[in-house]
Amino acid sequence: MLYLLRIGEISLKGGNRGFFEKKLVQNIKRRLKNFHPRVTGSTGRFLLEIPEESEESVIEVLSTTFGIVGFAKATPAGKSIEEISRGAFSEVERFLQEREGGTFKISARRSDKSFPCSSYEIASIIGNDIRERFKTMTVDVHNPDLLLTIEVRDRAYIYGNDTKGPGGLPVGVAGRGALLLSGGIDSPVAAYLMAKRGLAIDAVYFHTYPYTPVETLQKVKTIVETIASACGGINLYILPFTDVALKIRKDAPADQTTLLMRAGMMDTASRIAGRRNALCLVTGESLSQVASQTAQSMHFTGSTSKLPVFRPLIALDKEEIIAIAKQIGTYETSILPYDDCCTVFSPKKPLIRPDFDFMRKSYDKLDLDELLAESIGKMEKEWYPPV
Amino acid sequence: MYTLHPMTYLDWAATAPPMESVLTESSAKALELYANPSSIHAAGKAARRCIEQSRDMCGKYLGVAPNLVHFTASGTESNNIVFSSLLFKKTRGSVVISGIEHPSIYEPAKMLECAGFTVTYVKAESNGIVDPARIAACVGQDTVMVALMLVNNETGAIQPVGEVSHLIREKESCLSRRIHIHTDAVQAFGKMRISCDELGIDSLSASAHKIGALRGAGVLYLSQPFDVVFRGGGQEDGIRPGTENLQAIFALTSALEIWEEKREEWNAKAVELRQNILNRLISAGARLFDPSYLEKTDRYSPYIIMASFPPIPGEVLVRVMSDNGFSISTGSACSARGKKNLRVVQNMHADRAFSESAVRISFGPSTSESECDAFCSALEREVTALINQLGGR
């Protein structure tokens, strides 16, 4: 079976395009390794050759691998009009398996200029052949039901309507980031959007048992499992964080608890990121959504990270975030009724516009170094491979 | 397959452990009397006899004619049958329930609200007991039903159902029509002597798995038949159509018989255990919702204890005690999974700190003194540690 893949943004890259393409090929091959695929290609197109029995997996993988804009099953043909015509017939027959008839348009491209017919001539000849052979197919060049593309390169390739891919860039081209994952709606969406820009994801979950239930941890694991494929696999780091949270609760003013917890998490995540050669932190923060997500709050909480903090949801409202969460399949898990933060760590009136210097002093005074190191020492790691 | 860790079970109000003899005997019955009780052959008639004997037994216990007792699948189903019957009324009216009812009353009442009924929710006093006068005061010209549970499932508070009925029946003479009075007796069934006549009620619901029988059987006493939503083969006088669950029904009455025989002895022991546990909890820093909870033992079920340990969230204490091998719960098991449900405690004027930290300890006849002792010691230890962690704030 042959598939033709379109790669959109990657083809716009200049000198380092090869790096992007190589990563995409690696990512596709890794996810389809059980079928021993062969991926070749250049100039904005890739060809995937793979055994027929893999169809279901191929569609799943190609529609969820970042870097692919669209894909279609293709028919290869020899470089003669007769062979191209036969290939076109089989594509039309594939189209007619699901419907009785319809409109079509031929789009022909000829990168091999030694081929005797021009693109226009190819389109005219094959178009006529199809009209004669399939009486239920008529031409509509503006809004066809079937866009039949013919590309003449080393061989001729004929393919019908393509299926949309997720777009974006291949995971890994932008390095690695450490995601602060809570089990709520936002952070999985943030992970997905950053992976779409090519970032490989390490997820960090701060577990405050017994103040949060094991069900919340289970929820986090399910979420990671859900987005692992799109993210090219995820390492989940589970940190026991109860001692840190309790120390903050005990030694800091109640209204600062949320911000200091958040700052402690950023601090810890950036330490883990350092060990993993990660280049940034990722959070699901959205401006003004809650007290810890005002500009002032994020200025402070982000300041404990030695790495830049990427917040891909910063300008999205809740409805927009929920729409993406539903699309990527994490929403139903995220809304399971298990708290991701116990009431004992959630002050009734948290600071909303904290003073930066005041909060920094408060954080430094807590002297969490030792506790954070202990937490990292006890962390567990689980690998969720792409499937 | 799952493995239960060795544990001390103190969540009987959620589900009582099944009695071994009840399980054995009811399994034997299920093997012997598998025919459909509606069949007219000998095997079907034998199954029918078994169910009718169970009905006689329940009727005797409730002090009513057996034909007024219907078997259902659960207490929840019994409650729903009663509430949904109101949907057949040609005109909408009002319903009065207490604010401390189990979700299987509270939610059907909400459903009636959606269907156009007016529902009044009457709060309990701070001692967890509803003032009969408050309920009576809410009964008006258009009141069609009043529901008050017999024993509250979170606090064990025994509700004055008889007094409420008395006041309502007095009012009825002015209204010249009968108001349906329903009681959810799930936590009282078997554990208290119940006379439907003395209570002056029109319907009562109960459940089998709270008294050591199987899940899948409930009881519904109805003084008069009414229309029901679910239709079928006409079983249980059409009140609960569907083939009867003979094994669960047999188990229910087997367990009830044992309770009838042992009730005085078991209750006396439970009263003592309750006092001991309460005293230990208080010395461990427990807050009770009312001082009378300790003193007026006749006003509370001896099998259910509610205590609160602010600022420890109830669910945190439940988790920690579970890790120690003790099963307790926060509030009602039917609503404890997931988001906090503080409705019941807040409907008895408890403050938020008390409500959020409340836990329920419920036990039964096989709970031993040594188990309670071990539980109290572990609880004292964990509460001290948690309070220390949380800095008492």
A70-87 confidence digits (pLDDT tens): 999 999 999 999 999 999
Would you state the pLDDT for residue B338?
Answer: 47
Residue B172 has pLDDT above 80, yes or no: yes
Do B302 and B367 have their domain in common? yes
Q: List the one residue out of A205, A307, A305, A301 whose CA is nearest residue A260.
A: A301
- B339 and A337: CB-CB below 8 Å? yes
| Boundary-marking domain end, from B235, B256, B277 | B256
Record: fold of A176-384: Rossmann fold (3.40.50)
| Boundary-marking domain end, from B187, B222, B256 | B256
Which of A207, A250, A255 to mutate to test binding with chain B, by most B CBs within 10 Å of its CB?
Answer: A250
Residue B5 has pLDDT above 70, yes or no: no
Contacts for A93 with CB less than 8 Å, ≥ 6 apart:
none
Do B124 and B176 have their domain in common? yes
Res. B336 pLDDT band, cuts 50 70 90: very low
Residue A225 has pLDDT above 60, yes or no: yes
Angstrom CA distances, B298 to B134, B279, B318, B387, stand at 22, 17, 28, 33
DSSP per position, A283-335: ----TTSSGGGSHHHHHHHHTT-SS-EE-TTTT--HHHHHHHHHHHT-HHHHT
Residue with structure tokens 């069900």?
A: A215
CA of A303 to nearest chain B CA: how many angstroms apart? 27
- A344 and B323: CB-CB below 8 Å? no
Which of A212, A344, A371 to mutate to test binding with chain B, by most B CBs within 10 Å of its CB?
Answer: A344
CA of B80 to nearest chain A CA: how many angstroms apart? 25
**Residue B138 falls inside a structural domain:** yes
Q: Which residue in chain A has the smallest CA separation from B318?
A: A210
Which residues in chain A are contacts of B392 at CB distance < 8 A? Answer: none
Would you state the pLDDT for residue A9?
Answer: 80
Q: Once rounded to an integer, what is the mean pLDDT over residues B309-330?
A: 95
Residues A21-49 pLDDT 10s: 899 999 999 999 999 999 987 667 889 99
Lowest mean pLDDT among A220-234, B110-124, B345-359: B345-359
Q: What is the mean pLDDT of chain B?
A: 94
Q: A322-354: buried (b, 16+ CB within 10 Å) or exposed (e) per residue?
A: bebbeebebbebbeeebbbbbbbbebeebbeeb
Contacts for B161 with CB less than 8 Å, ≥ 6 apart:
B148, B149, B150, B181, B183, B199, B200, B201
Contacts for B347 with CB less than 8 Å, ≥ 6 apart:
B98, B99, B100, B121, B123, B124
Question: Which of the listed CATH numbers 3.30.70.1560, 3.30.2130.30, 3.40.109.10, 3.10.580.10 matches domain A2-164?
Answer: 3.30.2130.30
Would you state the pLDDT for residue A98?
Answer: 87
Would you state the pLDDT for residue A339?
Answer: 75
Residue B114 has pLDDT above 50, yes or no: yes
Which residues in chain A are contacts of B320 at CB distance < 8 A? Answer: 210
Would you state the pLDDT for residue A41?
Answer: 78
Would you state the pLDDT for residue B2?
Answer: 47
**Residue B148 falls inside a structural domain:** yes
* N-to-C CA span, chain A: 20
| Better pLDDT: B256 or B175 | B256
**Residue B106 falls inside a structural domain:** yes
Do B84 and B181 have their domain in common? yes
Would you state the pLDDT for residue A112?
Answer: 83
Q: Which residue in chain A has the smallest CA separation from B392?
A: A250
- A249 and B393: CB-CB below 8 Å? yes
Residues B9-48 pLDDT 10s: 999 999 999 999 999 999 999 999 999 999 999 999 999 9
Put simply, the chain A residues between 190 and 229 with a CB less than 8 A from any chain B CB are: 209-211, 213
Which residues in chain A are contacts of B339 at CB distance < 8 A? Answer: 337
Q: Provide the CATH number for the domain around residue B330.
A: 3.90.1150.10
Q: Which two tokens stand for residue A140?
A: 């509509």
Residues A42-65 pLDDT 10s: 667 889 999 888 888 999 999 999
User: How many residues are given for chain A?
Assistant: 387
Res. A344 pLDDT band, cuts 50 70 90: confident
Q: List the one residue out of B77, B83, B96, B108 whose CA is nearest residue B140.
A: B96
The torsion defined by the Cα of B170, B174, B178 and B179, in degrees rounded to 10, comes to: -70
> Helix, strand or coil for residue B53?
helix
Q: Which two tokens stand for residue A158?
A: 């004929």
Q: List the one residue out of A72, A54, A47 whose CA is nearest residue A155.
A: A47
Q: Which residue in chain A has the smallest CA separation from B338?
A: A337
Q: What is the spatial distance between Cα A35 and Cα A57, in angstroms, rounded to a whole number?
A: 9
Res. B332 pLDDT band, cuts 50 70 90: low
Q: Which two tokens stand for residue B121?
A: 């929710």
Residue B211 has pLDDT above 70, yes or no: yes
Would you state the pLDDT for residue B72?
Answer: 98
Q: What is the spatial distance between Cα B254 and Cα B212, in angstroms, rounded to a whole number?
A: 9
Taking the domains of chain A in order of start, what are their residue ranges? Answer: 2-164, 176-384
Q: What is the mean pLDDT of chain A?
A: 93
Q: Once rounded to an integer, what is the mean pLDDT over residues B220-231?
A: 94
Number of independent structural domains in chain B = 2
Residues B44-82 pLDDT 10s: 999 999 999 999 999 999 999 999 999 999 999 999 999
Lowest mean pLDDT among A7-11, B257-261, B358-362: A7-11
Q: What is the spatial distance between Cα B31 and Cα A198, in angstroms, rounded to a whole number?
A: 64
Residue with structure tokens 């079937």?
A: A146
Do B180 and B244 have their domain in common? yes
Q: Once rounded to an integer, what is the mean pLDDT over residues B206-234?
A: 96
DSSP per position, B238-284: GTS-S---HHHHHHHHHHHHHHHHHHHHHHHHHHHHHHHHHHHHHHT
- A246 and B389: CB-CB below 8 Å? yes
**Residue B3 falls inside a structural domain:** no
Contacts 24+ apart (CB under 8 A), A252-257: A252/A362, A252/A366, A253/A362, A254/A347, A254/A348, A254/B393, A255/A347, A255/A349, A255/A350, A255/A351, A256/A347, A256/A350, A256/A351, A256/A354, A256/A359, A256/A362, A257/A345, A257/A346, A257/A347, A257/A350
| Boundary-marking domain end, from B256, B281, B310 | B256
Q: Once rounded to an integer, what is the mean pLDDT over residues A228-254?
A: 95
Q: Which residue in chain B has the smallest CA separation from A210?
A: B316
Strand ranges (E), chain A: 2-6, 38-42, 45-49, 70-77, 102-110, 137-139, 146-152, 156-159, 163-164, 176-180, 200-207, 234-240, 280-282, 309-310, 380-384
User: How many residues are given for chain B?
Assistant: 393
Would you state the pLDDT for residue B174?
Answer: 84
Residue B235 has pLDDT above 60, yes or no: yes
Do B155 and B51 have their domain in common? yes
Do B31 and B172 have their domain in common? yes
Do B38 and B158 have their domain in common? yes
Q: Provide the CATH number for the domain around residue B152.
A: 3.40.640.10
Pairing of strands A156-159, A146-152: antiparallel
CB pairs under 8 A between A and B: 32
Please tell me whether the overall predicted TM-score, pTM, comes out greater than 0.90 for this model: no
Q: What is the spatial distance between Cα A278 and Cα B154, in angstroms, rounded to a whole number?
A: 51
**Residue B65 falls inside a structural domain:** yes
Do B56 and B77 have their domain in common? yes
**Residue B1 falls inside a structural domain:** no
Q: What is the spatial distance between Cα A47 and Cα A25, in angstroms, rounded to a whole number?
A: 10
**Would you say the C-alpha torsion A330, A331, A332, A335 has a positive or negative sign?**
positive
Other CB atoms closer than 10 Å to residue A223's CB: what's the count?
A: 31
Q: What is the spatial distance between Cα B123 and Cα B289, in angstroms, rounded to a whole number?
A: 14
Range(s) of the domain holding residue B315: 8-17+262-390
Residues A179-224 pLDDT 10s: 999 989 999 999 999 999 999 999 999 999 999 999 999 999 999 9
Do B202 and B74 have their domain in common? yes
Res. A362 pLDDT band, cuts 50 70 90: very high
Query: Percent of chain A scored above 90 by pLDDT?
Result: 80
Do B83 and B50 have their domain in common? yes
Cβ contact A146:A104 at 8 Å: yes
CA of B114 to nearest chain A CA: how many angstroms apart? 25
Would you state the pLDDT for residue B340?
Answer: 56
Do B202 and B267 have their domain in common? no
Query: Percent of chain A scored above 70 by pLDDT?
Result: 99
- A249 and B390: CB-CB below 8 Å? yes
Angstrom CA distances, A214 to A378, B316, B341, stand at 17, 11, 19
Res. B122 pLDDT band, cuts 50 70 90: very high
